[in-house]
Amino acid sequence: MKNYINGQWKETTGTSQITVINPGSEEELIRYTAASPQDVDAAVSAARQALESWSLTTSEQRANWLNKIADAIEAAKTRLTELSHHNNGKSSEQALVDVDNSIKCYRYYANLVKNFAFSQVTQCEDGTELTHQQNPVGVVALITPWNFPLITSAWKIAPALAAGCTLVFKPSELVPLPEYEFTRLLDQIRFPQGVFNLILGDAEAAQHLVKHEDVNKVSFTGSTEVGIHVMQAAACSVKRVTLELGGKSPIIILEDADLDEAVDKALGGMFYNSGQMCSATSRLLVHQSIAEGFYQKFKVAVESITLGSDLKGPFSMGPMTTQKQFHKVHEYLNIAQDEQLKSLIDLDQIHLPEKGFFIKPHVFVDVSPESRLWKEEIFGPVICCRSFEDEDEAVRLANDSEFGLAATIITGSLQHGKKIAKRLRSGHIWINSHQMIQPGSLWGGFKKSGIGRELGQSGMQSYLEENVITI
């Protein structure tokens, strides 16, 4: 595997080896050499050289390129889905959802940029003319995690290109295959040289990229711990940053909620993608008057989950994507034993495949807010539950977290749900909904869940700088 720099495939000058594993079978998929800091320098240089010409393209030209990218993904949908399934471990069904959503994202920004006002003129009463201009921030570094290949990158690449930025993209070194194929598609449609550059590197390459003097902005999605280091490194040269980090999201089930709907949304919000979501609703709050009935139904639903490498339907789960994450989740399960947390389900009802980084779903009830499992992001199929007496207590418990990425409310009254939503310190709130994320919405969180927003007009705005001409 090679880096893609200035429209050409380049051999890496690095030395460290990275092994890519199929998490469902534990088989080696490929082994490659990680990019060196010198490779990063070459990619940034190419992006810098291409910046002026790309930034001067018209909105219509950039929209046409974004639609060409969407067309290319559409044509390669089967191949991209297979690569995501084998490399990430998610089912083909879920991988296809990611591919489809990435197509929608590129098309959304193609439509947005066509009608976006990059320049606006106003006349002052004294005759002064003010021209407000929106300019691309410059060369941007885009760094994505391993849990949602193609779609997480689309949320960054599409608005950056629409804004007129050039970029260096570093996907997860553990799940590079879908993004590598995506880059091959850009090469096939002869995307302008130097505008998009791919670096296949590890933490060393990422650190060098973030600190690089010729990078004007960093957009990073990953853990809060790493995000803090990214922010510190970017501060040395006052880079702009967008950070989409961790979460410990609540789901609030109100007294008037439909129990079947509550179970359905709790199941999807926690166990989709095997719980490997920063937005996973891993803190469940249910009104005490319906708690017993809810737990009975939730127990049956969770015990019906099947584990496998490519199963279909809502009651199935794939493996942890990495062996490191597999061990991390087990560390938290050991903590649960030490804290003597009460399990809702009978784990003997769920069977593990012989191979793969599979973990059974876990549900703990009556969990104290002081428990480490209640407070800390686990990033796996583990949910903690407790009941509440009234909505004031529910809101207090929901907001009592160092994170604030997302939240879900299940209620029989939309007006009631909207009233509570106004009190939650979360970036994205669903009411009676699965975790659908439209390209025109926004994504980002409060507190330690990050800085800035992706998607929607806000997503493109984050790649723009404003100035004014006074005449």
Catalytic site positions:
244, 278
Q: Please, what's the largest Cα pairwise distance for the chain?
A: 79
Q: What residues contact residue 117 under an 8 Å CB cut-off, 6+ apart? A: 134
Residues 6+ apart with CB under 8 A from 440: 108, 455, 456
At a CB cut-off of 8 Å and minimum separation 6, what does 316 contact? Answer: 91, 305, 306, 307, 308
Residue pair 68/189 in contact (Cβ under 8 Å)? The answer is yes
Q: Given 3-state DSSP classes, what are the helix, strand and coil percentages for the chain, each rounded to the nearest 5? A: 40, 20, 35
Residue type, 168: V
Residue 219, C-beta contacts closer than 8 angstroms, at least 6 positions apart: 140, 141, 142, 143, 156, 160, 241, 242, 452, 454, 462
Contact assessment for residue 144 and residue 219, using Cβ atoms and an 8 Å cutoff: no
d(CA 267, CA 49): 49
Q: What angle do CA 77, 82, 88 make, to 5 degrees?
A: 120
What does the H/E/C string look like for 133-202? EEEECCEEEEECCCCCCCHHHHHHHHHHHHHCCEEEEECCCCCCHHHHHHHHHHHHCCCCCCCEEECCCC
Give phi and psi for 286, each to the nearest 5: -125, 140
